[in-house]
Amino acid sequence: MESLSGKTAVVTGAASGMGLAFAQRFARAGMKVVLADVEAPKLDEAVATVTATGAEAIGVVTDVTDGAAIDRLRDAAIDAFGRVHVLCNNAGVAGSGPSGGNFVNEAEWRWVLEVNLWGVIHGHRAFLPHLVEHGDGHIVNTASMAGHFPGHSAYSASKWAVVAITEGLFHDPRLKAAGVGVSCLCPGWVNTAIMDSHRNRPEWAAPSHGVEATPMEEMMAAFVRDQIRSGMEPAAVADLVHDAILANRLWVFTDMQMVQALEPRFNAVLAAENPPERSFDS
């Protein structure tokens, strides 16, 4: 997109963390913003921070696991502002719940894939025809560096899938013909509330009773909490996203050291060799 001013952005997971920072950054760029989140009271506060700057914004309570709710979000955005130009499929959960030493905690996998992957799929289905029809649009999917490093977890699976479908979308001839851009945000550690994702865990995804974290899982969760606390500020990520939309850039990385750390794996893949011992987990 060549300019953002006067246009409309829809951001999911906008009540806190990176989504809120995107909404605020877009408002500063002169955009109208539709903030969507499953956490209603926090969403109201988030919308107030945007409208307090003089920008036009509305909040739409939306659970991204519900395709019909995403349709209603699109319709509410179009009703309010006429057209949607930028969509950020950003809502996500960490799902660092306990496995009880089992290989798969099914409730955990279902919940994380529903939010992190199906949230994005619903966003594509509901919004892409509209973006392609008017042709002045850009879609930003929030993946993660966890979408590039292997990991036997629901989070890794969800983020690898988001990386794959976003890069696939980048090549889609219909988007290219219409001039609709695509970005894949792959943050490293960012200082947000992601490790408290269980605050939004629905009843249907309640963890199995009596399942406890293994000592390794407890250690890993403490490590990740520490990294996130000292991570990048969401506003800095929002600047990168804003610039990537204007530059029509696919990859938005926040930590180039993490990107460099991919090299041994790629080399092993190219040589069809077993992967090297891991020095990084995300």
Ligand X SMILES: NC(=O)c1ccc[n+]([C@@H]2O[C@H](COP(=O)([O-])OP(=O)(O)OC[C@H]3O[C@@H](n4cnc5c(N)ncnc54)[C@H](O)[C@@H]3O)[C@@H](O)[C@H]2O)c1
Residues that bind ligand X (CB under 6 A): 12-13, 15-19, 37-39, 62-65, 90-93, 115-116, 142, 144, 187, 189-190, 192-194, 197, 200, 228, 231
Q: Which is nearer to ligand X, 39 or 172 (CB)?
A: 39
Angstrom distance (rounded) from CA 56 to CA 68: 25
Distance, C-alpha 7 to centroid of its chain? 21
Least distance (Å) from ligand X to the CB of residue 67? 12
Angstrom distance (rounded) from CA 50 to CA 21: 10
Q: Are 16 and 42 in contact (CB under 8 A)?
A: yes
Beta 8-12 vs 32-37: how paired, if at all? parallel
- Specify the DSSP class assigned to residue 276: P
CA 255 to each of CA 190, 231, 240, 241, 260: distance values in angstroms, whole numbers, following the listed order: 10, 10, 11, 14, 9
Q: Which is nearer to ligand X, 39 or 167 (CB)?
A: 39
Q: Which is nearer to ligand X, 13 or 137 (CB)?
A: 13
Number of neighbouring beta carbons within 10 Å of residue 170: 17
Q: Which is nearer to ligand X, 179 or 191 (CB)?
A: 191
Beta 181-186 vs 138-142: how paired, if at all? parallel
Around 208, how many Cα atoms within 13 Å sit in the side-chain half-sphere? 15
Angstrom distance (rounded) from CA 282 to CA 270: 23
Q: What angle do CA 186, 168, 272 make, to 5 degrees?
A: 80
Question: Is 249 a known active-site residue?
Answer: no
Q: Which is nearer to ligand X, 204 or 266 (CB)?
A: 204
Angstrom distance (rounded) from CA 254 to CA 273: 29
Q: Which is nearer to ligand X, 27 or 252 (CB)?
A: 252
Least distance (Å) from ligand X to the CB of residue 25? 13
Query: Positive or negative CA dihedral for 42, 63, 183, 173?
Result: negative
Angstrom distance (rounded) from CA 75 to CA 155: 30
Least distance (Å) from ligand X to the CB of residue 272? 30
Least distance (Å) from ligand X to the CB of residue 136? 25
Angstrom distance (rounded) from CA 276 to CA 74: 45
Q: Of 81, 127, 149, 155, which residue is the catalytic one?
A: 155
Which residues have a catalytic role annotated? Answer: 155
